[in-house]
Each structure stands twice: as C-alpha cells, then as structure tokens.
Amino acid sequence: MQMTGAGLGALGFTLLWVSGLAVASQEDAPHGYRIAQELLVGDGTVLEVLEDRRITAQLHAQSWGSGLDEETFDESTDSEHQPQLEARVRLVSEVGEVLAEQSLGYPLAKVEKAPLSGLPYPAFFLTVDQTAPMGSYSGPATQILAPTQSRLEPVLYRDENGEQRPLAMAQTGKAAWQILPSASGATESIAQVSSAPASEGDDFVTTYRIYRWVDGQWTAASRQQPGYWDMESEFPEPSAFP
C-alpha cells in the first residue's frame, strides 16, 4: 500500500509500507549517500541506515566481516576525489522529518528487529562492521536501540558495580554472542563470550558475561577463568554463564 497525500507530496517524501518495511525514495538521501535499509519502528517512525552511494547491496554483502577500504570501490567511481563516507543511522517521522541522526564511524552497518520478547518497547539491533583488515580482535559490534524510548541512544545496562553503560556485543575472532531462550515467557538473555591475553604472562583469560532483563532494566553478570576461546570453538553452554 502506497501512502499518498498533499502533505507527503509537498515534502517530497514517498513511503511504501510493505511487510513491516519502509521504502523511501533515494531522493531523500543526503548527498553522496544511498538509503541502504529501512525498518518501521511501530509508532509511525522509520529507522534508516545510510551508506556511501558507491557501496551497492552486493558490495555490502561481499565486504561484511572482512573490512572495506576505498580501494574496494570500482576505479570508475573516482573515489580518490571523493573520500569514503561513514555509514549513518537516522530516525525519520512518517512525514519525512529527520528526528535524530548519528554517524557510525565505519562505512558498513545494518539494522534488524531484535528477537527479544517481553520488552515494553520495540527493540532493534544496530550492527556496525568494525572489522580491521588484519587481526582477530575486531569485527561487527551490535548495540540495542529503543527508538520509541531514547531515539538513537543505545540501550543501557547496569553493571556489577551499579553503573549504567551502553549495552554492546562483539563478534570477532575471539568473541561471540548469542541470544539464550528463557522459560515462562520471560525476556531472553544475551550471552557474550570473549578471550584476551592475561595481564601477565602468555596465558589467556576468557570472560563469560550475560545480560538479563530484570525489573525493567538490563543487568549484567560476568565471571572469568583461565583459558582460551576463539571462533573455531563451540559456543559455551548456558551453564557456563553466571
């Protein structure tokens, strides 16, 4: 179903509503960008991911998780004279007004509905590909957005010391995360495992951290033990997390 009307037409903003997706005209993208992705939030607003217009959907898919630099662009794009643009995320009203916008620091990003039940707000995973050309400690980083509550500010969690921190998960050569099912219809938990060199010696320490929705907020618990984990290993059993 296509939305029409003088109000939208005056703003030059055409929005198609298809199976929970929003499709805006590329004319609404800032100069040098393309609208790479759009999702309906549920209150009439739309989450959009903007990427450099030279990054096609195919190039995005091919480059995800392996790093992207300006040399990747086709020579015909004259990228030497047009610096690579950082991806952006923005929240757009149903009449095309940009309510909030943030630069993401890297060229590739994506957004998806978070498969988390029982939350009092629609939640989304915003993932920014921070993969470096070399090394095993970088990769896609995911944060949770709650646009109806805090627009584009990341959802916070309370750590073991009672401090509020942005909830973010890493997927690298030495870190991974999964959503763990819950019982009795409660909100699912998010488990994160990561391994890093110990502060002394050549040994490694693995951290097992879990995020739980408790009494209206995200909380975290973690434990560490000597040992090594990497992406070639099986993801730890739920019992490994505190």
Q: For residue 4, is it within any domain?
A: yes
Helix boundaries (H) for the chain: 6-11, 57-63, 147-150
- pLDDT tens-digit readout, 132-172: 887 788 999 999 999 999 899 999 999 999 999 999 999 99
Q: 175 and 106 share a domain?
A: no
pLDDT exceeds 80 at position 176: yes
Q: Quick one: pLDDT band at residue 104, thresholds 50, 70, 90? A: very high
Q: For residue 20, is it within any domain?
A: yes
Q: 194 and 97 share a domain?
A: no
The model's pTM? 0.85
Most confident of 11-25, 80-94, 107-121: 107-121
Q: 84 and 15 share a domain?
A: yes
* Domain end marker among 95, 110, 125: 110
AA letter at 242: P
CA dihedral 103, 104, 108, 113 (to 10 degrees): -100
Are 167 and 156 spatial neighbours (Cβ–Cβ below 8 Å)?
A: yes
Q: 98 and 174 share a domain?
A: no
Strand blocks (E) in 96-203:
98-103, 109-113, 124-129, 140-145, 156-158, 164-166, 168-170, 175-180, 189-197
Are 165 and 155 spatial neighbours (Cβ–Cβ below 8 Å)?
A: no
Are 224 and 205 spatial neighbours (Cβ–Cβ below 8 Å)?
A: yes
Q: For residue 133, is it within any domain?
A: no
Q: For residue 150, is it within any domain?
A: no
Helix boundaries (H) for 27-97: 57-63
* Distance between CA atoms of residues 15 and 55, nearest Å: 23
The Cα-based distances of 159 to 56, 132, 162, 166, 209 in angstroms read 39, 28, 5, 10, 10
- pLDDT tens-digit readout, 55-77: 999 999 999 988 776 666 655 45
Contacts made by residues 3-12, CB under 8 angstroms, sequence distance 24+ = 3/94, 7/95, 8/95, 8/96, 11/95, 11/96, 11/97, 12/96
* Domain end marker among 65, 85, 110: 110
Q: For residue 203, is it within any domain?
A: yes
Q: For residue 233, is it within any domain?
A: yes
* Distance between CA atoms of residues 37 and 22, nearest Å: 9
Q: For residue 80, is it within any domain?
A: yes
Percent of the chain, pLDDT > 70?
84
Percent of the chain, pLDDT > 90?
71
pLDDT of residue 4: 38
The per-residue pLDDT of the chain, averaged, comes to: 87
Q: 22 and 100 share a domain?
A: yes
pLDDT of residue 3: 39
Q: 105 and 180 share a domain?
A: no
pLDDT of residue 26: 79
Lowest mean pLDDT: which of 1-5, 18-22, 185-189, 235-239?
A: 1-5
Q: 185 and 103 share a domain?
A: no
* Domain end marker among 110, 137, 152: 110
Are 24 and 92 spatial neighbours (Cβ–Cβ below 8 Å)?
A: yes
Q: For residue 121, is it within any domain?
A: no
Domain that holds residue 14: 1-110
* Distance between CA atoms of residues 52 and 54, nearest Å: 5
pLDDT of residue 56: 92
pLDDT of residue 237: 97
Q: 177 and 105 share a domain?
A: no
Tokens for 209, please give them: 């951290």
Q: 15 and 105 share a domain?
A: yes
Q: 6 and 97 share a domain?
A: yes
**For the chain, how many structural domains are there in total?**
2
pLDDT exceeds 90 at position 8: no
Q: 104 and 194 share a domain?
A: no
pLDDT of residue 184: 77
Q: Exposed, middle or buried, 219 (CB in 10 Å: 0-12/13-18/19+)? A: middle
Nearest of 65, 227, 206, 209 to residue 136 by alpha carbon: 65
